[in-house]
Amino acid sequence: MLHDLRRWRWDRWQELTPGKKEQLLDRWQDFLEESERVEGEEGVYSALYRVVGHKADFVWVHFRPRVADLLDLERAWERTPAASLSQRTFSYLSVVELSRHSAPPFPEGVDPMTLPPLRERLVPTIPNYRWICFYPMSKRRGETVNWYQLTGEERSNYMRGHGAIGRNWADRVKQIVSGSMGLDDWEWGVSLFADEPLWFKKLVYEMRFDPASALFAEFGPFFIGERLDQTALRSWLR
């Protein structure tokens, strides 16, 4: 997974002639259509969201089966006219994985990719919801509490209650947790999808009181965005 957050150069955009704007939008729409789904290959999805606030103007969210695919995708974007009017403000690389604390048991030696319920979790699609909330996070390794000095059973007990809260919201908020140890500065990325952004606040607030968060969680910046399809992209830049 790659979350690629960018600022749009509105000053330079306003300087373009109407014809140049149309050419740029046509190419951006083509890129969006090409990257949203590649037929015939599993795990290939992209989505574009306009971001609320000053941290960025828009975010690309890309799911690809290989890191090299993300590199190719970045270079393809840089070759579009729109790329020259955007500046990256933040990015995050991570991989979807099964949590050892929440994955359902399966026979030893069995490839989880051969089990449909686990395969669906390991190769998710980008949910078709209007809003996204993304934030990175880590577990504390301080002098008072240290997540990595707990036993596996202790960690599982903490995460069991944490997971129960998430399941209570499953009909309204879709959550994809991805790991990033050795890939990026934080340890996990959390992507939440919903049709109502206020639900993000309510869910995260409720989870803050759960011991797994209250004692051990360190949170990075939060980004909230509204999905842009090809029609909405053109309206946004008008």
Question: Each residue of 137-180: pLDDT tens digit?
Answer: 999 988 789 998 899 889 888 888 778 888 889 999 999 999 99
> Does 135 qualify as catalytic in the annotation?
yes
Q: How much of the chain, in percent, has pLDDT values that exceed 90?
A: 73
The pTM (predicted TM-score) of the whole model is: 0.90
Grade residue 40 by pLDDT with cuts at 50, 70 and 90: low
135, 148, 158, 205: the catalytic one is 135
Summary mean pLDDT of the chain:
91
Q: Would you say 90 and 55 are in contact if contact means Cβ atoms under 8 Å apart?
A: yes
**CATH architecture assigned to 2-236:** 2-Layer Sandwich (3.30)
